[in-house]
Amino acid sequence: MKKLFLIGFASLFVSTFATAQNSSTVYQTGNNSASVNQQGVNESTVTQSSVDGDLANNATVSQIGGNNISIISSNGDGNEVEVDQKGNNDNDQSADIGYFNIANVSQDGDANSAKVESDGDDNIAIINQVGNSNETTIDQGVGRSQRNIAWVDQNSLGTSGNTAKITQRYDDNYAEISQVGDNNTVKVNQNTGDNEPAMGSFAYFVQSGNGNNGIIDQDGRNNALESYSTGNDNYVRIKQNGNFNGAFVVQSSDNNSTNINQTDDNNYVTNGQLGIGNIGDFTQTGFSNEAHVEQRGDSDEVTVLQEGDDYVNGFQRGVGEGNMTIIQQNDGVNSAYFTQEGEFNELTITQGGGDNRTEASQYNEGSIANIVQNGTGNESISIQSGGVFGTSNSLNVQQTGNNNLSIINQNGNNTAVVTQNN
């Protein structure tokens, strides 16, 4: 679907091929340097190839104007590519025609670098790199730029990972990163400004391999993000600041970690982890926040801290070792539902402000639940069921306020303590 989106967006540029004022084609083999400077409506193609024993190639393309196209292909190690696309008048937005530019860079080899800078609206940057220790930098937009697209595909053949960094300014931008291999890093920064109407930006990245790291920072409203990680020891950090933000994270294999920090209105988190020793950490501040958690494996941990009209729905299933969940909700009208299945599970839920509701279910072997509610009209429903070995469960419920309700259902050698204070 995303490829179709890019093809449809690129169709806007079909007329450029027929009306380009300047055209430059460069083919080089060996230790070469190419510099292309164009002004107007331009098209540039640079192809460089290094052979064994040759030093790296260098290609620099500078295009001033709108509707520019730059296509660069390099084969070998240590090559450097830099594309700079600008408008005629960056100081006057109404006169600036720095838009509808396309930069397409392909590199095959190790320790290559690609840098694309585009000013204005409706630009496309596509970078494909195959090899180890490659770097990609895309910087799109100045002023109140919008509707830019950045697409990065990196394929590492060894353990020396690649790095992709994308910066997009203001509104309605799209960033997509795909990395294959070990020890890769993704950094994306998107900013939604005061364009009317402000729609926000979207980021999507996929990492396959071990030891990969993704850092996303979105500032604005109506932003969304999707992240998929496959492999061991991967880490994802997402920070969203603004309205109507969303984050969706899926990690499979072992020792993965997810950290999401959201501030202000209508944020939500969905986190899915499969494997051993996964950790999820969410912090939400604002109104109408949601957190959906599902972990399957051993030694999983989830920590959720929410401020506002929050809602949590989670599931943990462990085999052989214990899961742990800590949920803290303040300011009232909060709800928490959580189910744990497995051995040595622990659950701690703290709610304050009144009108809170907690449903905690624990099944199989040695579960411990601690529930604390402060306010008026609190409700706690707990179910504990011991395993086949009859391991004792324990439950502690503390409610402070008026019109509190606690319902407990235990099966096995269990202990329950309920304290209610007006």
Q: What are the tens digits of pLDDT across the range 313-322?
A: 988 887 667 6
**How confident is the model at residue 195, as a pLDDT?**
57
Q: Can you read off the two tokens belonging to residue 45? A: 């193609």
Q: What is the pLDDT of residues 23-74, one digit of tens each?
A: 888 888 877 888 888 887 888 998 888 765 456 788 899 888 778 889 999 8
**Integer Cα distance of 136 and 156 in angstroms:** 13
Give the pLDDT mean for 227-242. 90
Give the pLDDT mean for 246-266. 90
Contact predicate 94/59, CB 8 Å: no
pLDDT at 121 over 90: no
**How confident is the model at residue 141, as a pLDDT?**
77
Phi, psi for 33 (deg, rounded to 5):
-135, 130
Give the pLDDT mean for 298-307. 86
Ordered by start, the domain boundaries in the chain are 1-253, 293-422
Give the pLDDT mean for 199-210. 87
**How confident is the model at residue 89, as a pLDDT?**
40
The CA distances from residue 107 to 28, 51, 82, in Å, are 14, 14, 12
**With 0-12 CB in 10 A as exposed, 13-18 as middle and 19+ as buried, what is 160?**
middle
Q: What is the pLDDT of residues 170-199, one digit of tens each?
A: 778 899 999 999 999 999 998 876 655 656
Confidence of residue 20 (pLDDT cuts 50, 70, 90): very low
pTM: 0.84
Give the pLDDT mean for 133-140. 92
The neighbour count for residue 418, using CB atoms within 10 Å, is 16
Give the pLDDT mean for 327-349. 86
**Integer Cα distance of 23 and 45 in angstroms:** 8
pLDDT at 387 over 80: no
Contacts of 60 by beta carbon, 8 Å cutoff, 6+ apart: 34, 35, 36, 81, 82, 83, 84
Contact predicate 328/352, CB 8 Å: no
pLDDT at 95 over 80: no
**How confident is the model at residue 238, as a pLDDT?**
93
3-class state of residue 6 by DSSP: helix
Phi, psi for 321 (deg, rounded to 5):
-140, 170
**Could you give the percent of the chain with pLDDT greater than 90?**
35
